[in-house]
């Protein structure tokens, strides 16, 4: 009789230990996340920067276009505030025919429209770089560099404390405009250049574009 009690007690203890082990396996261990793959996907979606929804007017040097199926990986960087894909206008953007003193118009998100006067033009072969100063009532500058269908640029609007980058998306063969937070910028390997490809002496740097 005592032997039966011992066996029953041993079986009960074994069952309790087994249940405890199963419950422990269901809980995340030290350093493990309790977030499911679906939750992680939702978090990544929330962290994506918003798309700027606006139509640039016909006077702007570029207009907005339909989004590609997959965006450039650089747009997922922590510095990006918002973005939109763009295409430069054949009528309003003719860098090879521009001269110092000419004006360009840039339409940005939130009805921000800039007129800028071309201050400097540099040409080396197929490459053209233009720097323009933003006119009143705003303050800032527009810097654009083009080689064939590739364009990089920076638009600084000091009066609004806003910074925009124009970059070439190699995967989609498209251009995009992104507003960025300069405080969160860093240079990522294989990322597009952050400045036009000229050094301080005005010489072209082949490796930067």
What are the tens digits of pLDDT across the range 98-156?
Answer: 999 999 999 999 999 999 999 999 999 989 999 999 999 999 999 999 998 899 999 99
**pLDDT of res. 98:** 92
Residue 53's CB is within 10 A of a number of other CB atoms, namely: 9
Measured between alpha carbons, how far apart are the two ends of the chain, in Å?
A: 88
Task: Find, among 128, 103, 122, the residue nearest to 114 by Cα.
Answer: 103
CA distance 117 to 154: 15
Look up the pTM and report it: 0.69
Predicted pLDDT of residue 191? 41
Separation CA 186–CA 184 (nearest Å): 7
Task: Indicate the domain borders of the chain.
Answer: 51-187
16 dihedral zone (left: phi>0; alpha: psi -120 to 50; beta): alpha
- pLDDT tens digit sequence for 95-106: 988 999 999 999
Let me know how long the chain is. 209
Asked if residue 175 lies in contact with residue 183, where contact means CB atoms within 8 angstroms, the answer is no
Contacts of 124 (CB under 8 A, 6+ apart): 204
Q: Which two tokens stand for residue 174?
A: 């498209």
DSSP secondary structure code for residue 27 in this structure: S
């Amino acid at each position: 009789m005592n032997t039966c009690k011992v066996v029953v007690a041993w079986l009960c203890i074994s069952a309790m230990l087994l249940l405890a082990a199963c419950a422990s396996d269901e809980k995340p261990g030290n350093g493990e996340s309790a977030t499911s793959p679906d939750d992680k996907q939702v978090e990544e979606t929330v962290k994506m920067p918003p798309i700027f929804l606006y139509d640039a007017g016909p006077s702007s040097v570029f207009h907005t276009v339909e989004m590609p199926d997959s965006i450039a990986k650089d747009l997922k960087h922590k510095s990006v505030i918002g973005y939109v894909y763009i295409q430069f206008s054949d009528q309003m953007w003719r860098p090879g025919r521009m001269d110092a003193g000419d004006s360009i118009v840039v339409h940005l998100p939130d009805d921000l429209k800039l007129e800028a006067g071309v201050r400097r033009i540099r040409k080396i072969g197929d490459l053209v770089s233009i720097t323009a100063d933003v006119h009143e009532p705003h303050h800032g500058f527009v810097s654009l560099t083009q080689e064939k269908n590739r364009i990089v640029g920076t638009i600084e609007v000091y009066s609004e404390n806003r910074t925009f980058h124009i970059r070439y998306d190699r995967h989609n063969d498209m251009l995009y405009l992104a507003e960025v937070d300069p405080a969160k910028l860093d240079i990522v390997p294989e990322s597009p250049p952050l400045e036009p490809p000229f050094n301080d002496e005005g010489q072209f740097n082949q490796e930067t574009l």
